[in-house]
Amino acid sequence: MRIYLAGPLFTTAERDFNARLTQLLRQAGHEVFLPQENEQRSMTAAEIFAADVGGVDWAEVVVANMDGPDPDSGTCWECGYAYGKKPIIVFRTDFRAGDEPGKAPYNLMLTESATTVLDLAHAGIDRIAQSLIAALRKLAIA
């Protein structure tokens, strides 16, 4: 399946996580568009925007990382752009709780527009990848 992997990419830890998750998804046979692999420092904001929009258009599914006290605004935009066009899988490994027990600790517009919502608090990278691969498999069957 062709995946657009959306998520924060502004720290070394975020980029390393994205790269490792991409590697695991590719090992499972998926094609992955990872924005940080396609963006160079010499690119203008308009070029980065066009490349990322093209990546979302190319993908069959958007997989989005919702970690952080408030999910990354670019990731949220990518999910909104994809809504109604293709499935969206959102996942969260962040263990910080929301205000309401049993409710996702981020905006309902993200959880309600997603095809699949995965709560993976405290999960390691291998479990995250396995959970995403299982969700992708379900989408392929549907």
pLDDT digits (tens, 9 = 90+) for 27-86: 999 999 999 998 877 899 999 999 999 999 999 999 999 998 889 999 999 999 999 999
Please tell me the least confidently modeled range out of 16-25, 42-51, 56-65, 104-113. 104-113
Asked if residue 127 has pLDDT above 70, the reply is: yes
In the predicted model, what is the mean pLDDT of the chain?
A: 91
User: DSSP assignment, residue 56?
Assistant: H
- The reported pLDDT for the residue numbered 41 is 79
Question: Which domains are delineated in the chain?
Answer: 2-141 (3.40.50.450)
User: What is the C-alpha to C-alpha distance for residues 70 and 55, in angstroms, rounded to an integer?
Assistant: 24
Contact between 32 and 5 (Cβ < 8 Å): yes
Give pLDDT, residue 69. 83
Statement: residue 142 has pLDDT above 80:
no
Residue 4's nearest CA partner among 52, 44, 73 is: 52
Residue 102 pLDDT grade (very low, low, confident, very high; cuts 50, 70, 90): low
| Tokens standing for residue 69 | 């006290």
* Contact yes or no for 8/65 (Cβ under 8 A): yes
Q: Which residues contact 11 (CB under 8 A, 6 or more apart)?
A: none
Residues with Cβ within 8 Å of residue 44, at least 6 apart in sequence? none
Identify residue 28 by its one-letter amino acid code.
A
Name which of 76, 116, 72 is nearest 94 in CA terms: 72
